[in-house]
Chain A
Amino acid sequence: GQQLNQSPQSMFIQEGEDVSMNCTSSSIFNTWLWYKQDPGEGPVLLIALYKAGELTSNGRLTAQFGITRKDSFLNISASIPSDVGIYFCAGQLRYEYGNKLVFGAGTILRVKS
């Protein structure tokens, strides 16, 4: 089945540092999405990417949809304590029943202030 390889598994960084995480897959996706999950909550969409090569920013977040449509990265600049959480990439895939999301395993981000 489809699988997303997300790395790194976890990061422990100093407040103010930049963060980078990425996802790769052997499958081609139509859309790449990045979610953040806070403890005890459901994932919340951060950024959506719809075209190969697209580079999108949302405040301190920047994400890119790889040109091959098989990878994406997320950068967070100047991290702050509230950036702590689990970040998931997700690929949107057309399949026989329509459309579904396939999620990466997540990157756990801890910020030291």
Chain B
Amino acid sequence: DAGVIQSPRHEVTEMGQEVTLRCKPISGHDYLFWYRQTMMRGLELLIYFNNNVPIDDSGMPEDRFSAKMPNASFSTLKIQPSEPRDSAVYFCASSAGQFNEQFFGPGTRLTVL
């Protein structure tokens, strides 16, 4: 079975450009999480969805960040406009139930020049 799928794996963009990161959770999972990993702050929860509905977006750093989940098999994290300090690895994870194991995707390494 396929795990969590993220695309692209790497993204290099210039400051001010719009960036869209994509995630396909494991089929049947009803929770989807977006995390950001940096050397300075480690792994931080940005937002999570339950049955496609955003539950907690308090970790989203600024209004430049937005996330959507139009259906059970797809989610996007968008940064507009991007800034160099957004450079990080962004992970998507999904779980079947809130208290069950979260399965992480391979991540998208974002570099904003």
> Which residues of A are in contact with B by a Cβ distance under 8 Å?
31, 40-45, 48, 88, 92, 97-101, 103-106
Contacts and interface: CB of A to CB of B under 8 A. Distances in A.
Nearest to B42: A105
B34 interface: no
Q: How large is the interface on B (under 10, 10 to 19, 20 to 34, 35 or more residues)?
A: 20 to 34
B56 A92 contact: no
Given A92-B99, A103-B42, A98 B56 contact: yes
Chain B binding surface, main DSSP class: strand
Interface in B88-113: 91, 93, 98-99, 101-107
A64 to B, nearest CB: 19
A60 to B, nearest CB: 20
A98 B97 CA distance: 11
A103 to B, nearest CB: 4
A45 B56 contact: no
Given A100-B45, A100-B48, A42 B56 contact: no
A97 B56 contact: yes
A97 B105 CA distance: 23
26 contacts: A31-B99, A40-B106, A41-B106, A41-B107, A42-B4, A42-B91, A42-B107, A43-B43, A44-B104, A45-B101, A45-B102, A88-B43, A97-B58, A98-B50, A98-B98, A99-B98, A99-B99, A100-B45, A100-B48, A100-B56, A101-B45, A103-B43, A103-B44, A104-B42, A105-B42, A106-B42
A65 B61 CA distance: 32
A8 to B, nearest CB: 15
Contact of A42 (B50, B58, B93): B93
A42 B45 contact: no
Interface in B39-78: 42-45, 48, 50, 55-56, 58
Given A43-B104, A88-B43, 19 more contacts: A31-B99, A42-B4, A42-B104, A42-B105, A43-B43, A44-B104, A45-B101, A45-B102, A45-B103, A97-B58, A98-B50, A98-B55, A99-B99, A100-B45, A100-B48, A100-B56, A103-B44, A104-B42, A106-B42
